[in-house]
Chain A
Amino acid sequence: AQSVSQHNHHVILSEAASLELGCNYSYGGTVNLFWYVQYPGQHLQLLLKYFSGDPLVKGIKGFEAEFIKSKFSFNLRKPSVQWSDTAEYFCAVKEGTYKYIFGTGTRLKVLA
């Protein structure tokens, strides 16, 4: 079965710093990949997704992610974080036609 690894469990950055959160999945083939975000007190919401095509995917709020097939990776990036980006970020891969496998999440704290 697929598994998803998020190696950074807690990240603390100052505003305007650049962000990269790692995500690796366990095996290849055709994959659908997602990043979800959970702001404090809110529900999980989709940041971006990759199904096929251009491996550099742009999402909401200035986030982007790059699918690197050879590395089984789908890292999330943002050039300049804001205090409002403080949240928990989850990487997910869709296994089969409907099952989403999530990583353990990365808690990001952005200092104003």
Chain B
Amino acid sequence: EDKVVQSPLSLVVHEGDTVTLNCSYEVTNFRSLLWYKQEKKAPTFLFMLTSSGIEKKSGRLSSILDKKELFSILNITATQTGDSAIYLCAELNNNDMRFGAGTRLTVKP
């Protein structure tokens, strides 16, 4: 069965730190790798990655995909308390999406 594995499961950092979240996948019929942020309620979309080696960037967040090694990373620089959330990665395979368990990031002042 296809599996999406995220690490670490939880992470505590201080404001200003840089963090790297990892996502590995094992899948056939791969279409895209996606990242979401979940605060109190519903997940919100961050990035969709389809091609290897092309970095997607939005402010202090960036992400890249390695289709040969089957992993993706999400980087957050100069973290703020507002970055505290669960970060979910998901693999889109044909028409369904499989999520990892998420990384719970806590940013302390």
Do A and B bind?
A: no
